[in-house]
Amino acid sequence: MKQVWAFCLLLLFGSCIQQKAKERSSRSAYYWSTTWEHTARTDSLVRSLKTLYLRYFDVVVDDEGKVMPNATVRFAASLPQHLNVVPVVFIVNEVMKRGDDSQALAEKVLRRLLQISETNGVAGVRELQIDCDWTLQTRNRYFEFLRHLQALAHQHHLILSTTVRLHQLSQPVPPVDRGVLMMYNTGDFTNIRCEQPILSLTDAQPYLKYLSRYRLKLSTAYPLFAYRIAFRGGRYLGVVHADNDLPLLPGDSIVMRRSSVAEVKRVQLEVEQLRPDANDEVIVYDISPNHLSNYKNSDYEEIYHLR
């Protein structure tokens, strides 16, 4: 009998160890820029990543009213071979407001995406992702587009994912293989009184109630980025991308908005409670050079070491 108990205990202990190892989150990041380039910081971060979500291009409505690709990423360096690269295409909602042929658009997007990968030696792509801030008005058209794209992607042995914004959690699930929950931009950055526009648990809370019931395989993207906002007399002026970028007058205030690691951790724990599988992959948004200088390596480690 003793032997039986000992065996059971061993089995239980063993399974706990196994379970813990299985639950460790995989490390991923978004790279949202028009140039893929090497910097010492990027290199060191990328080395530890399993997956890189790399924005390839946007799809916009051009001046002539045509749906066209725009701001295609330029490869100023090669991508590390170990990386699992997920090409991301951002489609402005305006495109979906038009009645263009969604099948044709899906074909064009996929063809271009594959050509970019081939031309620039991005090997082993297994997934592609579409980002679009769709609304109730454009939902049907966007979903139709996704259905076409998914069918095409599967023909190429690719899976299709899409970004899911917090407000979209209350909406029907898009027809894709999986989604990435964008856990950021929860507040109004044009309001000077909104001190945490990038991420605040309080602001995210109303949407999180839908999370556990959201019937789509999810990963979560957490923000580690910052930007400067100019205000005049409390009135929003604009985002300051670079010095000299905005006409500033004496008395104007420039406010730094930065997602705090502590707040990200709080939200991560909340997600862990509500839907642990959404943290199986932790994605940082974003590791392009513009944002890296605002955070230390230990900040990234803290976000990734969730479990």
Partner 1 sequence: MKKFIICVSLLFFFTLRMLACGPFPNVHNYYMMKVVGTDNPDLFYDRVKDFWNDYVGTTGDYFGDDCAMLMSAANRKGDEEMKAYIRLIAQYKNIAARRKVETWDYPTKQELARQKVQIGQMRTVALNYKGQRLRPQYTLLLMRANLLDNRYPQNAVIWKRCGVTLKPSVFRDMCQNIYAASLLKAGQRKAACDIYARQGDLQSLQFAMLRFTHLDGIKSVYREDANSPALAWLVQNFVNSVQEDDDCERKFPQDTARSTYKSTAQQFVRMALQVIHEGANREPALWQAAIAMVHYTLGDVAAAEHESKMAMTMKGTQLERDNARCIHLLAYTKARISEKDTKTYSDYVTAELQWLDAKWRDVDDKAMESSDYFANVYDRVLSQNIIAHYRSQGNQNMVALLTGILDSRNRIWNEAGHSYTPGYCRNFGNSEYFCQLDSMTSSQLKGYMTFLRHADDGNALQRYALYENTYRDKIYFYDLLATKLMAEGRFAEAIPFLKEVPLAYVQHQGIAFYMARRDFHQSRWMKHQLVSDADFWPDEDFRDSTLTVNQKIAFCEEMNNLLGTYQIARQEVRPKLALQLASRYLQASCYGDCWYLTHYEKSVSDSARAWEKDFATEAMNYLEVARQDPALLQESLYAEAYVQMAVFSSGVWYTYEYDYNKVVSDISVRRAYDALSQYYLLHQNTAEPYVTKCDMLQKYMHP
Q: Which residues bind partner 1 (CB under 8 A)?
A: 35, 57, 68-72, 74, 76, 108, 111-112, 115-116, 118-121, 232, 238, 242-249
**Smallest distance from the beta carbon of 112 to partner 1, in angstroms?**
5
Q: b vs e for 266-276, b when ≥16 Cβ sit within 10 Å of the residue's Cβ? A: bbbebbbebbe
242 vs 262, beta carbon nearer partner 1? 242
Min. distance of Cβ 159 from partner 1 in angstroms?
22
**Which segments of 73-200 does DSSP mark as H helices, in order?**
93-97, 102-119, 139-155
Least distance (Å) between residue 66 CB and partner 1: 10
User: Nearer Cβ to partner 1, position 120 or 196?
Assistant: 120
Cα–Cα distance list, 93 to 60, 96, 152, 281 (Å): 8, 5, 22, 27
CB of 183 to partner 1, least distance (A): 30
Judged by beta carbon, residue 50 or residue 241, the one nearer partner 1 is 241
Give the end-to-end CA distance of the chain in Å, rounded to a whole number: 36
What whole-number distance in Å separates Cα of residue 52 and Cα of residue 211?
A: 24
- Residue 62 to residues 6, 66, 141, 294: CA-CA distances in angstroms? 71, 5, 19, 34
Query: Which residue's CB is nearer to partner 1, number 68 or number 173?
Result: 68
Q: How far is the CB of 263 from partner 1 (least distance, A)?
A: 31
